[in-house]
Structure 1
């Protein structure tokens, strides 16, 4: 339990202390006030134990404590029993005994029902790097941090601005939280958690030196990096996650841009000179969530060697992807940058664009060629259908001219057999066409994958997947299958209709069908 809450609970029966208290906290000061309505005299042993525990954690901190009695009916009239009972806690037992007997026990137990005690606590915290810094009210600290402007964090804060790759801030939180941390800032509940922190293996000096050679932040000589706020282990509190994510992205932009500056307190302006000069602006307080791609680009650029070349390539691609604002940049931008780097150096950006255009043309050509599979199948169907129809009309015309056959016996035995052969051949041709279409589809899939494999040496893995999107292959394949299915059903229907027509137009065929059915029934 938070020791401050524990201290307050000594004087009240209220079970909603956390809900009813008013607390504030930033890097340098924590304060709290709480109105004690249901006052009770604390147990001496508990009083002594709690005070001693608070003294132990305060270390170099100073604490001011004020008890004030106030009238419930008129807040403007009150009696202040003791203005700042003490400053700088002492573990002197006699001092605590006097405090308990003369102030706490003797005076406060005489409070009437119409009065209450207002308890005010102010803690002054000298912040130090590489030492333990306490946070007493975690949510209040987050609220305070969320209200700080960007200029304060990046320029004016002596603590954040003093951070560099060699220094750390360690916060010990007087509440039970799951530890979370970045490369330079740790939030812990127990000092023992320090043993479990794993930092990244980075050459910070190499990163900062390259940044200073290639980028310029007009407002200050920036020492922190995006890794300063990039959470290695995230918090269970989403609000502080959002603050750290936003700071990580904005510092990443500073590390990518040619020039950057703060316009006022919260607006970051960046200038990126790539294929074209772009001027972007982000409001730290009011802009929507920034794309994390900027940190990914920063990390790729400043990893290992050839930082200047990679930074130039990144600026080229960002300027190409930039349309209206800095939110146009996404994961595909990094994939394009990596692919461009494989082609190597800025003079080959044109080659990369030409390559992407060539790939697009090849994919489009292959997609158009896939439509020939449908054309071939539909052509086969039309040919067999027209042949079938021509034969039937020829027989009908001959019978009309000769006027020798009855309507129920237009097809004699020989013609019926010939027509049956035509229908059977049509069915076999349908089967053949379906099999052949499947082979063509397999060939199309194989050609698509071969084309993808062909360009795998020129594009990065992510860019290759984005360019040769499997949805293109799936879409074409599904479309072909649906069209083939449609023609197959229609083709099969024409065969069935042909047999039904022959049954009614050929007495011989009708007799043979009847005899066959009778024979089957006898089996």
Structure 2
């Protein structure tokens, strides 16, 4: 597409002299002087109008004689009255004819049109990084990004989350001025993080803008790594609390490529939401050792030290984790053993009860049958009463044994829950649940215990009923 100055040359059909082009974020101003001949054709009038129609910016063209008040003026179109006034100009030999073309940019949906790439690049180059950010800050905070639409170089492309060139894609990430792991005094005015200014793709060259973005990325890497930071004019004041304590200031203009190590560290720290506190603590300790007293610059080897330190930290934590898991599994095993021992106690009590009245039954039966020919009336009244008493005692013993086992079972359940609760200071509830397989083994053991208790109760009662039936058949008094 044509450059705006080329269109103006065509418009006046004359050679423009002393051309001056100034372009900023919000405005374009073109000034120049003209030959005495002034002529505007219909074709070129339509050319400038068609050029601006899809761009939504407001423009004004002013014509001067001898730098006085505007002789002719037109807004957003080349009016017939404007053309008539220009064609009626009959300047004297020493008259100076000049014009001023002003475009007031309408920043709509974050889009800022750039009409003269060279002039705009010069404006960006002459700004400090913080001044550049201030010029676009209102658009960034309201629209989440700004896109520089370079009219004459549509093939140029650059993308970051907040600043783009010829890329109108919507930003997916909201701004956040509240941070948990550091204190940046100016976060309300500058709610940005390092990743907002990371260049993820580009085509063509816009070196001046790229340099500003690199510095801004490094700046917000420092604000989110160091403990306390605040801006004062064009410098960043900081406090670092690591193994060594440091404080000082660094010029923002100096945060060039040699500080990009901080951007790499920042990206690693905040790559995921897990272990950020542990990571940033380790980073501050290592930076405090690598940092030189007179500068915030650190050697690239600091990054390797951080990664290695974190691996050692993880290895130590994994060892502790495995140890905790082992202890948890050991405690579960002990709980399960207690459940089984409780069931064994019920078995022993059943056997003791059976042995008691079986031995009595057999003793009476043998003694009586030795003196009798048949098996009727083997048990006398006294023996019958004694055996019935044993059956009653056995039933009471059954109730006692069952109550004892159920009480012990509930005690073990409470102990199991307290054991899980005790380990929540070292493991998450989800991790504990995963280790214990959602209590599957414990629940399975309880189900087995409950079935076995019911089985013993039935077996005990059936045994007593059988012995009572035998007693009824063999007793002389029932």
TM-score above 0.5, yes or no = yes
Structure 1 position 51, deviation (Å):
2.9
Of 104, 110, 119, which aligns to 1:124? 104
Q: Is the 8 A contact 2:129 2:215 kept in 1?
A: no
| 1:399-419 Cα shifts (integer Å, max 9, x gaps) | xxxxxxxxxxxxxxxxxxxxx
Shift of 1:289: 5.0
C-alpha distance in 1 between matches for 2:132 and 2:81: 45
CA distance in 2, matches of 1:161, 1:7: 32
Q: Any conservation in 1 of the 2:235–2:251 contact (CA below 8 Å)?
A: yes
The answer as to 2:291 corresponding to 1:322 is yes
What is the root-mean-square deviation in Å for CA atoms of aligned residues?
3.2
- Report the counterpart of residue 10 of structure 1 in structure 2: 11
Q: Residues 163 and 224 of structure 1 are in contact (CA less than 8 Å); yes or no, is this contact kept in structure 2?
A: no
2:180 to 203, 209, 213: 213
Q: Is the 8 A contact 1:258 1:272 kept in 2?
A: yes
2-structure distance, mates of 1:27, 1:175? 16
Which whole-Å CA distance do the structure 1 matches of 2:306 and 2:211 have between them?
27
SS of alignment partner, residue 212 of structure 1: coil
Cα distance between partner residues in 2 of 1:163 and 1:325? 38
Deviation at 1:80, TM superposition (A): 4.5
Aligned: 1:272 with 2:257: no
CA distance in 1 between counterparts of 2:47 and 2:301 reads 57
For structure 1, list consecutive stretches of 5 or more residues without a partner in the other structure: 71-77, 349-523
1:86 paired to 2:74: yes
Query: How many angstroms apart in 1 are the aligned matches of 2:228 and 2:250?
Result: 14
* 2:58/2:106 contact within 8 Å kept: no
Question: How many Å apart are 1:28 and its aligned residue?
Answer: 1.7
Which of 195, 210, 223 does residue 227 from structure 1 map onto? 195
2:252 maps to which of 263, 284, 289: 284
2:65 is the alignment partner of 1:97: no
Q: Deviations over 1:93-152 (max 9, x none)?
A: xx733332x123232xx3455434211012222334x34321222333333334444555
Q: Distance in 1 between the 2:213 and 2:3 partners?
A: 25
Q: Deviations over 1:153-202 (max 9, x none)?
A: 566864265168xx2212211222511121222211xxxx65xx798xx9
Equivalents in 1 of 2:265, 2:300: separation in Å?
A: 9
Alpha-carbon shift at residue 286 of structure 1 (Å): 5.7
Q: Deviations over 1:206-265 (max 9, x none)?
A: x958x70011111232322222222223451322221111111111111111110112x2
- Structure 2: segments with no counterpart, 5+ residues: 318-478
Larger Rg: 2
Deviations 1:454-502 (A, max 9, x none): xxxxxxxxxxxxxxxxxxxxxxxxxxxxxxxxxxxxxxxxxxxxxxxxx
Contact 1:12 1:37 in 2 (8 A): no
**Within 2, Cα distance between the matches of 1:174 and 1:155?**
23
1:41 aligned partner: 39
User: Residue 313 of structure 1 contacts residue 346 of structure 1 at CA under 8 Å; is this kept in 2?
Assistant: no
Matched residues in 1 for 2:163 and 2:297: separation?
Answer: 31
Residue 205 of structure 2: aligned partner: 236
Matches within 5 A, 1:342-357: 342-344=311-313
**1:170 and 1:297 mapped to 2: Cα distance?**
28
| 2:116 aligned residue | 137
Runs of 4+ that moved beyond 6 A: 345-348
User: Could you say what secondary structure the match of 1:231 adopts?
Assistant: coil
**Equivalent position to 1:311, from 273, 280, 286:** 280
Corresponding residue of 1:506? none
SS at match of 1:24: strand
CA offset at residue 321 of structure 1? Answer: 0.5
The alpha-carbon distance between structure 1 residues 227 and 36, as it changes in their structure 2 partners (threshold 3 A), is: farther
Residues 153/288 of structure 1: CA separation in 2 closer, same or farther (3 Å cut): closer
Query: How many angstroms apart in 1 are the aligned matches of 2:8 and 2:237?
Result: 48
Residue aligning to 1:106? 88
- TM-score, normalisation: structure 2: 0.58
Does 2:20 align with 1:25? Answer: no
Which residue of structure 2 aligns with residue 182 of structure 1? 160
Change (3 A) 1:132 1:79: closer
Matches for 1:81-480 after TM superposition, within 5 Å: 82=71, 85-87=73-75, 89-90=76-77, 96-100=79-83, 102-107=84-89, 110-128=90-108, 130-149=109-128, 152=131, 158-159=137-138, 162=141, 167-176=144-153, 177-188=155-166, 194=168, 204=173, 208=176, 212-221=179-188, 222-234=190-202, 236-263=205-232, 265-285=233-253, 289-304=257-272, 305-344=274-313
- In 1, are the aligned partners of 2:195 and 2:267 still within 8 Å (CA)? no
What is the alpha-carbon distance in structure 2 between the residues aligned to residue 268 and residue 180 of structure 1?
A: 27
Count of aligned pairs? 312
- Deviation per residue, 1:40-92 (Å, 9 max, x gap): 52322222x22322440441x3222211123xxxxxxx555625x133x14xx
Distance 1:337 1:81, change over 3 A: closer
Quote the Cα distance in structure 1 between the aligned partners of 2:290 and 2:261: 13
Residue 295 of structure 1 and its aligned partner are, at CA, apart by: 0.5
Whole-angstrom CA distance in 2 between matches of 1:171 and 1:140: 14
